[in-house]
């Protein structure tokens, strides 16, 4: 390979069809100066571009085709934050496998997922793309999604290479503002933000995407501590690292690089292997090598990593896609069934006063109200790949399909999601008064979450709260259905509306799945993967906080709290109700003293004391009472979603070892320190059964 051809393999180019100069972009492919294409999908389009590389370039090296298949390709599943609410990694693996199957049939062989950034600040729009605020839950979901995307063999027709992103600490952006700087201790980096990435690496993820943000003054895309010391040195990662969209020239705006050549040199020398969209490696790489500013060995290693993935994907043997397979697999009945089941398992029942839910199917009239009640576009969420709004099922459609012919389903939009006037509220009130129950769908538009969608308010946008208040004032039983990509501050709703169902953006089968839960065909079992604040002023708010030297006390001003609002959450991490009741009992530890390298078995009995079958998520938390570096008040270390018939009791078993009890000390060594530990088992991060044990050297 010539040096220019080597540098070509380091280039991920945007889809030539969208380029300002399409001919010039295609010429780069002909000359072998492109390693992969971004945002080209569909078997026919992919094959056309691949033929250009295979038939007209000198070396005939196949192209990678990357696309943001974040929560489904054509069959759109719940957004990742919603899917994390299922607390079911096997479900995440299944949906990722279906997404991979559809994507590979459409020519996509590389997905920019999973996004595993821990997010503690609900103002950050990209919280919707991850698994929430907890590193343990995030790690479990990361492993599952990597397994689902990549399967057992990358060359298989139902597998794509995964790309874990964004490395690292992107979710810690100051003020919750996307792309903003991050400044945090190495302890917090290693304890909170890195574990899901390490889990993805251990699961065999093929690629890593560097983050937009800087970290403690060094942008992630040119950060040797992240890209070389940790990723290669500590974790022995053998795949390649791709930048995020134009992140390399952005090193200049960050104030790290003096010019384009300097940006390319710093990114390459730090350990970045492939550049997305921008072409600084292509344009300046040869000169940088000749000047001795970038070693040729650094270029060669990056090329090896990229070519290795192409071989593993089977592209040298089978570069083209079977164009007849694409149509057969899109929206297959089994895929739609999985989407409906995944959506239903992701819903979280936040409140159900007086057992208002589930609803009867033989009601005389049901009012379905709200700007999100009949929105096909919004239920798909912000990253919906090749999903089509016209194929999505809305809440209104789902309810009409669920009830019998004798039940009248009335509809009123009421108001817009944001902006607009209150003129439609009167019609919504009239509709509610004519019905037996009012279901009000409110929240965010899909565009209000995701990339570049940070918010300074967590309140219901526009006139939606006024709409809810007006419907509640009619005296009709009212159910609020939330659709959103982040925790919302809904204190008035929580205090006044009897039933609240959190549905996030539930995907292509959203309406059917929500109706399944509202009418009791599915008993909700989801739990919150993020804390719901009372007000945006509490952000960032998360359950695994430190105790401080002055933990909050009700009657002591000089403790850590607010003077104008409670410091506690509206709904805690792990919260979620069911249409049945569960009782925890008989918490047992295999021992109460163990050495630092021994393992502890924990068992607890869980009984369904209600009248119907249901799911409970059994959650185990620990606290290291005194350590050389202070530890959180609670840390999730185990969970299990179980299904129990009415009256059924089951013993749930957990096993804790050094990997659960250890933490990084002051010298960044991962160690298990002797001392007292407390253990909690329950159905959320608040309360639960308690026990204690001691660890000794």
What b/e readout covers 315-329, taking b as 16+ CB neighbours within 10 angstroms? beeebebeeeebeeb
Instruction: Tell me the pLDDT tens digit for each residue of 638-690.
Output: 999 999 999 999 999 999 999 999 999 999 999 999 999 999 999 999 999 99
Q: Would you say how long the chain is, in residues?
A: 697
**CA gyration radius for the chain?**
26
Please tell me the number of Cα atoms within 13 Å of 631 on its side-chain side: 22
Cα separation, 301 vs 273, whole angstroms = 8
Q: Tokens representing 51?
A: 């033929």
CA distances from 301 to 193, 364, 569 (A): 28, 69, 49
At residue 319, the pLDDT reads 98
Residue 297: CB atoms within 10 A of its CB come to: 9
Assign domain 73-326 one CATH number from 3.20.20.300, 3.40.630.30, 3.40.50.720, 3.30.460.80: 3.20.20.300
Model pLDDT for residues 636-649, shown as the tens digit of each residue: 999 999 999 999 99
What per-residue confidence (pLDDT) applies to 493? Answer: 98
pLDDT computed for residue 180 by the predictor:
98
Contact 107, 76 (CB under 8 A): no
CATH 2.60.40.10 matches 582-696 = yes
Per-domain residue ranges for the chain?
1-67, 73-326, 335-538, 582-696
| pLDDT attached to residue 18 | 85
pLDDT in tens, 497-534: 999 999 999 999 999 999 999 999 999 999 999 999 99
What is the pLDDT, as a whole number, of residue 434? 98
The pair of structure tokens assigned to 189 is 């980096």
Kindly report, residue by residue over 386-432, the tens digit of the pLDDT.
999 999 999 999 999 999 999 999 999 999 999 999 999 999 999 99
Q: Is the pLDDT of residue 20 over 90?
A: no
Global pTM value: 0.97
Q: How far apart are CA 424 and CA 156, in angstroms?
A: 53
SS (H, E, C) 153-193: CCCCCCCCEEEEEEECCHHHCHHHCCCCCECCCHHHHHHHH
Q: In the chain, what is the straight-line distance between the N-terminal and C-terminal CA atoms, in Å?
A: 57
Residue 228 per-residue DSSP state: I
User: Which region, left, alpha or beta, applies to residue 479 given φ > 0 means left and ψ of -120 to 50 means alpha?
Assistant: beta
Looking at the annotation, which residues are catalytic? 244
* pLDDT > 70 in the chain, percent: 100
Pairing of strands 365-369, 214-215: unpaired
Digit-coded pLDDT (tens) for 57-112: 999 999 999 999 999 999 999 999 999 999 999 999 999 999 999 999 999 999 99
CATH 3.40.50.1700 applies to domain 335-538: yes
Q: Which single residue is written with the structure tokens 């009992």?
A: 585
């Amino acid at each position: 390979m010539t040096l220019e051809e080597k540098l070509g393999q380091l280039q991920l180019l945007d889809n030539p069809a969208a380029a300002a100069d399409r001919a010039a972009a295609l010429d780069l492919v002909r000359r072998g100066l492109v390693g992969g294409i971004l945002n080209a999908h569909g078997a026919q389009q992919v094959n056309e571009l691949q033929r250009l590389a295979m038939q007209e370039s000198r070396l005939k090296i196949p192209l990678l085709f990357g696309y943001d298949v974040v929560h489904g390709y054509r069959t759109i599943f719940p957004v990742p934050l919603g899917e994390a609410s299922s607390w079911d990694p096997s479900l995440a693996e299944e949906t990722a496998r279906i997404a991979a199957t559809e994507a590979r049939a459409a020519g996509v062989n590389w997905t920019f997922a999973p996004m595993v950034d821990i997010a503690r600040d609900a103002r950050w729009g990209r919280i919707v793309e991850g698994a929430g605020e907890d590193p343990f839950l995030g790690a479990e979901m990361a492993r599952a999604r990597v397994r689902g995307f990549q399967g057992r063999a990358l060359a298989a027709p139902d597998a794509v290479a995964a790309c874990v992103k964004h490395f690292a600490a992107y979710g810690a952006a100051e003020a919750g503002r996307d792309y903003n700087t991050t400044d945090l201790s190495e302890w917090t980096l290693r304890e909170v933000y890195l574990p899901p990435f390490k889990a993805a690496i251990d699961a065999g993820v093929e690629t890593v995407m560097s983050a937009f943000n800087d970290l403690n003054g060094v942008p992630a895309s040119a950060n040797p501590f992240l890209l070389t010391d940790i990723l290669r040195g500590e974790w022995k990662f053998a795949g390649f690292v791709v930048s995020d969209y134009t992140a390399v020239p952005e090193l200049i705006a960050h104030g790290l690089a003096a010019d384009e050549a300097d940006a390319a040199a710093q990114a390459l020398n730090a350990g970045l292997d492939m550049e997305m969209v921008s072409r600084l490696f292509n344009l300046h790489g040869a000169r940088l090598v000749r000047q001795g500013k970038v070693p040729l060995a650094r270029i060669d290693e990056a090329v090896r990593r990229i070519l290795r993935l192409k071989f593993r994907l089977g592209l040298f043997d089978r570069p083209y896609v079977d164009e007849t397979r694409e149509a057969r697999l899109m929206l297959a009945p089994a895929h739609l069934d999985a989407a409906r089941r995944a959506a239903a398992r992701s819903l979280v029942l936040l409140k159900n006063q007086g057992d208002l839910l589930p609803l009867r199917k033989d009601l005389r009239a049901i009012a379905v109200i709200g700007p999100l009640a009949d929105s096909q576009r919004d239920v798909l969420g912000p990253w919906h790949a090749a999903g089509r709004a016209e194929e999505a099922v809305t809440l209104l459609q789902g309810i009409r399909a669920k009830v019998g012919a004798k039940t009248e389903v009335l509809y009123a939009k009421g108001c817009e999601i944001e902006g607009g006037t209150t003129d439609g509220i009167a019609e919504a009130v009239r509709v509610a008064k004519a019905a037996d129950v009012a279901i009000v769908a409110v929240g965010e538009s899909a565009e209000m979450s995701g990339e570049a969608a940070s918010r300074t308010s967590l309140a219901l946008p526009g006139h939606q709260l006024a709409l809810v208040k007006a419907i509640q004032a009619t005296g009709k039983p009212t159910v609020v259905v939330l659709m959103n990509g982040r925790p919302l501050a809904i204190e008035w709703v929580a205090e006044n509306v009897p039933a609240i169902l959190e549905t996030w953006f539930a995907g292509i089968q959203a309406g059917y799945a929500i109706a399944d839960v509202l009418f009791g065909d599915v008993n909700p079992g989801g739990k919150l993967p993020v804390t719901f604040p009372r007000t945006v002023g509490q952000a960032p708010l998360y359950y695994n906080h430190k105790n401080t030297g002055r933990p909050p006390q009700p009657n002591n001003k000089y403790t850590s709290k607010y003077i104008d609002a409670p410091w506690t959450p509206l709904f805690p991490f792990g919260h979620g109700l069911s249409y049945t009741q569960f009782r925890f009992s008989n918490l047992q530890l295999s021992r109460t003293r163990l050495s630092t390298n021994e393992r502890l078995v924990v068992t607890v009995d869980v009984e369904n004391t209600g009248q119907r079958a249901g799911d409970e998520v059994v959650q185990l938390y620990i606290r290291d009472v005194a350590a050389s570096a202070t530890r959180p008040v609670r840390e999730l270390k185990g969970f299990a979603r179980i299904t129990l018939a009415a009256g059924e009791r089951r013993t749930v078993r957990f096993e804790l070892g050094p990997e659960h009890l250890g933490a990084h000390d002051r010298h960044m060594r991962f160690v298990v320190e002797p001392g007292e530990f407390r253990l909690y088992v329950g159905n959320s991060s608040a309360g639960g059964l308690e026990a204690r044990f001691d660890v000794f050297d």
